[in-house]
């Protein structure tokens, strides 16, 4: 049964209770039912929880949001479509699904959700974007190549704060301490990085893992 439509101005001056009773009832019942959406109602239902407490929160995706000075806002929107303070948000992920955001009273925007749980993937965590992957090595001395962030070429919208790369040793391998893997100085950008591998271990290092942290 739908929630009754609220009719303002009731009871009007000069009207009798009999003339306005049904409208007043709809206004009261409708207000009660509306407040009960996503909340424990006035009677402590469902269950026996405190009236007014949230049950579940259904968020209507926003199209455009602006800073409210002194207040934090949490809302949902579609990355790449949502506009915050006149700027379109990065489409990460770009699958058209809704994600959660937080906007501080000073205008600080954080994307809180969105991920790709794959071997080469990414995840938003409290405003930080983590990206990771695995790269197969050819084993050649002085091997150098560029790696694009994520297989879907997901870029960091603002900054890259940290990069890590770790060699993977073949099971039972007898690697040499001469094997080094480095991130090339000055090669880190919001879209990619370069590595250099100096191998002398007889193919005992077939690949490496990498992890990047930014926003």
CATH number at residue 203: 2.60.40.3940
One domain, residues 130 and 145 = yes
Q: What is the pLDDT of residue 153?
A: 62
* Residues 6+ away with beta carbon under 8 Å from 178: 198, 200, 201
- pLDDT for residue 176: 56
> Is residue 53 domain-resident?
no
Residue ranges making up the domain that contains 137: 117-214
Residue 196 confidence (pLDDT): 92
DSSP state for residue 121 in the 8-state scheme:
E
In a domain, 71, yes or no: yes
- Is residue 37, in this structure, part of any structural domain at all? yes
Residues 140 and 190 occupy one common structural domain: yes
| Residue pointed to by tokens 């930014």 | 214
**Is there a domain that residue 59 lies in?**
no
Give me 103's structure tokens.
Answer: 């906007």
Classify strands 128-136 and 121-125 as parallel, antiparallel or unpaired: antiparallel
Please, which residues have CB within 8 angstroms of residue 19's CB and are 6 or more apart in sequence?
A: none
Low-confidence ranges of the chain (pLDDT < 50): none
Same domain flag for 209 and 126: yes
Residues 76 and 141 in one domain: no
How many C-beta atoms lie closer than 10 Å to residue 60's C-beta? 9
Domain boundary among the residues 54, 89, 113 is at 113
Are residues 113 and 123 in contact, defined by beta-carbon separation less than 8 angstroms?
A: no
If asked whether residues 96 and 160 sit together in one domain, one would say: no
Q: How far apart are the C-alpha atoms of 70 and 104, rounded to whole Å? A: 8
Residues 38 and 86 in one domain: no
Tallying the residues shown for the chain, one arrives at 215
- Assess whether 81 and 170 both reside in one domain: no
Domain count, the chain: 3
pLDDT at 99: 96
Q: Does 100 share its domain with 28?
A: no
Could you tell me if 4 and 26 are in contact, meaning their C-beta atoms sit under 8 angstroms apart?
yes
Domain co-membership, 16 together with 95: no
Confirm whether 57 is domain-assigned.
no
Residues 189 and 122 in one domain: yes
């Amino acid at each position: 049964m739908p929630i009754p439509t609220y009719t303002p101005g009731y009871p009007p001056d000069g009207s009798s209770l009999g003339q306005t009773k049904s409208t007043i009832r709809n206004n009261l019942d409708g207000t009660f039912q509306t407040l009960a959406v996503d909340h424990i109602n006035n009677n402590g239902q469902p269950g026996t929880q405190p009236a007014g407490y949230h049950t579940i929160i259904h968020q209507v995706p926003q199209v455009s949001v602006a800073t409210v000075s002194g207040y934090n806002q949490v809302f949902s929107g579609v990355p790449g479509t949502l506009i915050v303070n006149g700027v379109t948000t990065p489409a990460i992920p770009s699958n058209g699904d809704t994600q959660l955001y937080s906007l501080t009273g000073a205008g600080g925007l954080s994307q809180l959700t969105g991920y790709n749980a794959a071997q080469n993937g990414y995840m938003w965590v409290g405003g930080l974007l983590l990206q990771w992957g695995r790269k197969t090595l050819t084993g050649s001395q002085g091997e150098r190549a560029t790696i694009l962030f994520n297989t879907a070429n997901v870029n960091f919208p603002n900054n890259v704060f940290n990069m890590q790369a770790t060699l993977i040793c073949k099971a039972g391998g007898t690697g040499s301490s001469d094997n080094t893997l480095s991130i090339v100085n000055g090669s880190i950008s919001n879209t990619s990085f370069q590595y250099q591998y100096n191998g002398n271990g007889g193919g005992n290092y077939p690949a490496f893992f990498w992890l990047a942290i930014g926003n």
